Amino acid sequence: AQSVTQLGSHVSVSEGALVLLRCNYSSSVPPYLFWYVQYPNQGLQLLLKYTTGATLVKGINGFEAEFKKSETSFHLTKPSAHMSDAAEYFCAVRRPNSGYALNFGKGTSLLVTP
């Protein structure tokens, strides 16, 4: 079954530092992969997605992710963290045979310190 594992439930970075949030996937078919962000008391917002084509995907707010099939990874990065990036981040993979429903990871809470 399609699933994702997020490494690290909490990540802390200094403002201006590199953000790296890790996600590994398991899939029996070429995966569709997603990163969502959730701010407190809000719904999830799509950051970026990989379906086919270019393996380096750019998203909103300066985030990007690279699909690496050999490593079964889809890590999320941002060169310079901003205080407003503090939120919960979820990696997700499309469920098999169900259109576009998603299986989510457990999430990584990003803390940005001054």
Partner 1 sequence: EAGVAQSPRYKIIEKRQSVAFWCNPISGHATLYWYQQILGQGPKLLIQFQNNGVVDDSQLPKDRFSAERLKGVDSTLKIQPAKLEDSAVYLCASSLLGQGAAGTDTQYFGPGTRLTVL
Q: What x-and-dash track marks residues 63-92 binding partner 1 by CB under 8 A?
A: ---------------------------x-x
Q: Which of residues 8-37 bind partner 1 (CB under 8 A)?
A: 32, 36
Question: 75-110 b/e with 16+ CB inside 10 Å = b?
Answer: bbebeebeeebbbbbbbbbbeeeeeeebbebebbeb
For position 41 contacting partner 1 by CB under 8 A, the verdict is yes
Question: Nearest Cα to 75, choosing from 88, 87, 66?
Answer: 66
Of 10, 28, 29, 43, the one binding partner 1 by CB under 8 A: 43
Maximum alpha-carbon separation in the chain? 45
2 makes contact with partner 1 (CB under 8 A): no
Would you tell me which residues interact with partner 1 (CB under 8 A)? 32, 36, 41-46, 49, 51, 90, 92, 95, 98-107
